[in-house]
Chain A
Amino acid sequence: MTTPAIELSGVSVGYDAHCPVLQGVDMRVERGAFVTIVGPNGGGKTTLFRLMLGLIRPTKGTVRVLGEDPARARERIGYVPQHFSCDPLFPVRVEDVVRMGCLGGARRTRQQARERAAEALHAVGLDGLGPRWFNSLSGGQRQRVLIARGLVTDPEILLLDEPTSNVDATAEDAIARVLGGLRGRMTILLVTHTAAVASRFLDTIYCVNRSVHAHPATDKLDEELMRHITGFALASGVALGGPSDV
């Protein structure tokens, strides 16, 4: 039996001893799976990622990533953060941002790092934008650059924390297509509040709200899932997408 990509057993964690953010979490993600994680704000989704990245330790239970302690496995994980905002005048080129993903891993020559960055930009559909100033890009393009930064080391696991939260519908669609293209190439965990994105990735769904439970397999968003995604009961007239071809 192969080692799972991620395994949490009886995990509890909290920033305050009397108020756990997550309690009694059991979760197993197989290699190559595409997992969509939904749940209300403050439910513990980002904390779950922080556990997987080894940035925080559980107060109870164990977390194993690729069979290792999460901090040791970090180099094999790509991560796209939630709500990334930087100084609007920060002078950095797109290529430099993507190359930041190479830091701390295997040593590469400047040429190798450039080639890796160009490949990662190609994977997210931003060929030729390497020399551009990062802050001159649109919000959706910047988000795709951050996905490229997560992909540049060819990680075994990619964690995406609400990558479509601050972008318009067109950019949302572009990001969903990029993720669709990555499906099956690595283990992907996607946190999203966006129904249109979640509806495209219904392979495996986990609902996180202090505890974590797997949602039964489905091929479309039902009312319960919508409640987990939006935090509200399903409003009439909300169009629900079925599984798409991405």
Chain B
Amino acid sequence: MFDFWQAALTHPLARNALFAALLVSLCCGTVGTYVVVRRISYIAAGVSHCVLGGLGAACYLNVAWGWTWLRPVHGALVAALLSAVVIGWVSLRRREREDTAISAVWSVGMAAGILFLYATPGYSQDLMGYLFGNILLVTNQSLWLLAGLDAVVILIVWWFFHQFQAVCFDEEFARLRNLNVDAYYILLLTLTALTVVALSMIVGVVLVIALLTLPAAMAGRFARSLAQMMVLASVLCAASCLAGLSISYRPDLPVGPTIILVAAAGYLITALLPRGFLRKG
């Protein structure tokens, strides 16, 4: 249980994992709060699975076409942002059934990603890493990228906090106050896409949605305001990641799934707490 903490003091990879967990928790708790209260977790799941398409395409172009400057995370960012805008546009226009469009984006992204990875010489074995992540392989460069994503997400949320709050709480009233509700919705999906990319480095594209929603759902049972919920969700996300790392380190279990099971256990406990205990007053 304490092996990870001892390793964090001496091994750079374990130390990077610790910092990555803390950094990713900031944007996870912040954006996860919006995902839960705005009830867009299905959209976030669609975006996260579509990320595999971008990862696969970037790997393929890197190896097969010699685009060595193109890293998998670049493809992930493009795929996440593109899918968020497409799903958001469909959702706002409602010309197509929203869930059908999300499912289409979801499965097309996954299928394209698997095909690209299959066609990339020497990359097929990395599929599991992309699907389920490995926080113990986070590099210094990735840490800087995570810090950058955190800064962008937190700055935008801080600047537009009241607007996002109004749009999530009462969309029609926000429209009456002349807020561009559609633009804020797309911006929210864009933030979700950035967070999904950050989280996919830690737990992989398949498990992103769990880490995005479970800590925020737990926090939502105790918080009286959105800001409180964001702080609490970030703390719970960090606790889940660090507990998952601690538990999985010694027996060499896959870290991503362990983190998710820890978060799920926390959610189950809060869900079973009596109502009086959760009263927010």
Please list the residues of chain A having a beta carbon within 8 angstroms of any beta carbon in chain B: 53, 55, 74-75, 77, 79, 81, 84, 86-87, 89-93, 96-97, 99-101, 103-105, 131-133, 135-136, 149
Contact = CB atoms under 8 A, between A and B. Distances in A.
A99 B178 contact: no
Q: Which 6 A-B pairs have the closest CB atoms?
A: A104-B177, A104-B178, A91-B223, A133-B224, A103-B177, A133-B280
A74 B173 CA distance: 11
Given A84-B170, A96-B165, A90 B176 contact: no
Contact of A100 (B162, B220, B280): B162
Nearest to B161: A96
Contacts of B280: 91, 133, 135-136
Given A84-B170, A100-B169, A89 B221 contact: yes
Determine which residue in B163, B173, B228 has the highest number of CB atoms from chain A within 10 A of its CB, and name it: B173
Contacts of B169: 86, 90, 92, 97, 100
Contact of A92 (B39, B172, B226): B226
A55 B175 contact: yes
B165 A100 contact: yes
Nearest to A72: B178
27 contacts: A53-B176, A55-B175, A74-B178, A77-B176, A79-B173, A79-B176, A86-B170, A90-B169, A91-B37, A91-B220, A91-B223, A91-B224, A91-B225, A91-B228, A91-B229, A92-B226, A93-B224, A96-B226, A97-B169, A100-B165, A100-B173, A103-B162, A103-B163, A104-B177, A133-B281, A135-B280, A136-B279
B188 to A, nearest CB: 15
Contacts, number: 75
A81 B174 CA distance: 12
B178 to A, nearest CB: 4
Nearest to B166: A100
Interface string B218-260: 0011011110110000000000000000000000000000000
Contact of A74 (B37, B176, B225): B176
A96 B163 CA distance: 11
Determine chain B's interface SS by DSSP, over half rule: helix
Contacts of B174: 100, 103
Contacts of A131: 224
Contacts of A90: 37, 168-169
B170 A91 contact: no
Contacts of A89: 220-221
B179 interface: yes
B176 A96 contact: no
A66 to B, nearest CB: 15
A103 B179 contact: yes
A149 B165 CA distance: 14
A79 B175 CA distance: 12
B162 A55 contact: no
B228 A100 contact: no
B192 to A, nearest CB: 18
Contacts of B225: 91-93, 96
B217 to A, nearest CB: 9
B226 A75 contact: no
A139 B15 CA distance: 51
A99 B37 CA distance: 19
A81 to B, nearest CB: 7
Contacts of A97: 169
Given A81-B173, A90-B169, A103-B162, A75 B224 contact: no
Contacts of B221: 89
Contacts of B228: 91
B170 A100 contact: yes
B37 A87 contact: yes
Contacts of A79: 173, 176
Given A97-B169, A132-B224, 16 more contacts: A55-B176, A75-B177, A77-B176, A81-B172, A86-B169, A90-B37, A91-B37, A91-B226, A91-B228, A92-B226, A100-B169, A100-B173, A100-B174, A104-B178, A131-B224, A132-B281
Interface in B147-200: 162-163, 165-166, 168-170, 172-179
A165 to B, nearest CB: 17
A87 B220 CA distance: 11
Contacts of B281: 132-133, 136
Contacts of A86: 169-170
Contacts of A53: 176
A46 to B, nearest CB: 11
A101 B169 CA distance: 12
Contacts of A132: 224, 281
Nearest to B37: A90
B181 to A, nearest CB: 11
